[in-house]
Chains A and B, each alone.
Chain A
């Protein structure tokens, strides 16, 4: 197999591969920066919890409208937003911290979602909803994915400054007469939007992988917020392209192929990136600068 056959041919020949590629590009651009903020705010597991929490909404959308992407997307977003608001409120008015409330709601949502889908849809639909299939992305799905991803990116720009302030000095905004809570909720809404956007291509369980793995790997390459975000986007896109190609050539399910590619990039970064194990621990051992 020539390089052309491996890298270009699948996209040149098949429209579904081109659509999948476009979906991956949209998701990388939206999820990369958001993942960095989740990481830096020590909320790496929050995306995971939130992705589970979307499930009952998706399931209800499925119950009402059958296998209709807009219905399931709207359902998922409403469920995600509901859980964000509930967890935030619970953190404020009870002794539970936000992560504990999230954990509780996630478990309830997950069980509820699986219950709803399996009573009506059967196992095939359940698998599809949980793990998605990027190769089944049609024009409508691509449009929905790209639109939500763009909106979430705009929302992130909108809250960028307060989000950075709140991440460095939690409580600063509240002390300065603005509610830190409001920005946190808007940020979690952004996360929910990205997860919903990724849900058709990746499935509810895998969508969070394209958000967190590249972000975590980026930590080994960059030090400033902007460069972390840029690295995260590039790594996410790389995982998308190679994951799709692996999935195409070796007949693997696309979602796991993309996430595993991201996982391999993460392991590689951890070892060989500028801030990774080899270069920061082994090679530079005993060498230091003069000033």
Chain B
């Protein structure tokens, strides 16, 4: 199978300390993968690396040509300025940015797409409401509507279901399943192992490096989960430098 994202000996980090350490492996095109692991295991960092926001300290990360320029990302809610007085409609319409840029007009088709996205996340009638007045679950629906509008082939979700009510989680999981069925490649950082077992065919258990990576049933064994908890290593100020190979 073709790979969507191929990591070769990838090291990502901050201040020369690795958050993802010598990771090798690939995410297949059209796969639906959960990335899990203890806190500080490098899950969010890996997504940032895939987005190209963080240059690798070592190794390479390769995105398939067919996916270049069509990557969507769901940020953690704390990264948003929720106080900003923007309406639900405008926030979802942001998803058209790649097509319309700063000055082109939105046009009728974009209008319909925004409408359809709002319908699919169950936010009809909320168009004029300001995003700041919504609950956490509704706000997450807005961000999913924006992802629907973006219509990307590779979708990265950073803790999409953290602190969200069960009904919203079910609705949004259905959208993730639909993306998978349409052949889009989806990566989601998650913590709920039951959820991963039920809904995500592939799993990467990350503890800076891949502790296990493959089909979910084979990854999430009881021994591994217990092992992963104690593997959460600490930031060592005096850690020696890795031998850097020339690539």
Q: Which residues of A contact B (CB under 8 A)?
A: 40-42, 158-159, 161-162, 164-165, 167-178, 223-225, 228
How would residues 137 to 179 of chain B score, 1 for a CB under 8 Å from any chain A CB and 0 otherwise?
0000000000000000000000000000000000000000000
Instruction: Pick the interface stretch among B81-89, B188-196, B225-233, B235-243.
Output: B81-89
Known interface pairs A161-B103, A223-B130; A169-B80 also in contact (CB < 8 Å): yes
Chain B interface extent, by class? 20 to 34
B51 within 8 A of A: yes
A contact residues around B87 at 8 Å (CB): 224
Bound CA–CA A223/B80 (angstroms) = 18
Nearest chain A CB to B233 CB, angstrom units: 24
Chain A proximity mask over B55-82: 1 for CB below 8 Å, otherwise 0: 0000000000000010101010001110
In the bound complex, CA of A120 to CA of B36 (Å): 67
Q: Which A residue's beta carbon lies closest to that of B101?
A: A178
CB distance from B14 to the nearest CB of A (A): 11
A-B contact sample (9 more), CB < 8 A, given A161-B102, A224-B85, A225-B85 = A40-B85, A164-B86, A168-B84, A168-B91, A171-B53, A172-B75, A175-B53, A224-B130, A225-B86
Q: A175-B53, A223-B85 are in contact. Are A169 and B97 (CB under 8 A)?
A: no
Judge if B90 is at the interface, Cβ distance under 8 Å: yes
Please determine whether B51 and A175 come into contact, CB atoms closer than 8 angstroms: yes
Q: In the A-B complex, list the 10 residue pairs whose CB atoms are closest, starting with the nearest.
A: A168-B84, A162-B102, A168-B86, A161-B102, A165-B94, A175-B73, A167-B84, A176-B97, A169-B80, A40-B84
Flag whether B98 is at the interface (Cβ < 8 A).
yes
A168, B73: Cβ atoms closer than 8 Å? no
| Residue in chain B with minimal CB distance to A36 | B85
Assembled-state Cα–Cα distance A249/B80 (Å): 49
Interface pair B81/A169, CB less than 8 Å apart? yes
Collect the chain A residues with CB atoms within 8 Å of residue B90's CB.
164
Q: How far is the CA of A224 from the CA of B130 in the complex (A)?
A: 8
Contacts of B83 in A (CB 8 A): 40
Determine which of B53, B69, B94, B102 lies in contact with A168 in the assembled complex, contact meaning CB atoms within 8 Å. Answer: B94
**A159→B90 CA distance, assembly (Å):** 16
* Contacts A159-B102, A171-B75, A224-B87 given; does A165 touch B80 at CB 8 Å: no
Across the interface, name the chain A residue whose C-beta is closest to B98: A176
Q: Which residue of A lies closest to B152 (CB)?
A: A176
Q: Which residues of chain B have C-beta atoms less than 8 A from A42's C-beta?
A: 81
**Provided the pairs A172-B94, A175-B53 are in contact, do residues A167 and B81 lie with their beta carbons within 8 angstroms?**
yes
Please state if B97 and A172 are interface contacts (CB–CB under 8 Å).
yes
Q: How far apart are the CA atoms of A256 and B69 in the complex, in Å?
A: 52
Q: Shortest Cβ distance from A23 into chain B, in angstroms? A: 30
Nearest-CB distance from A29 to chain B (Å)?
21
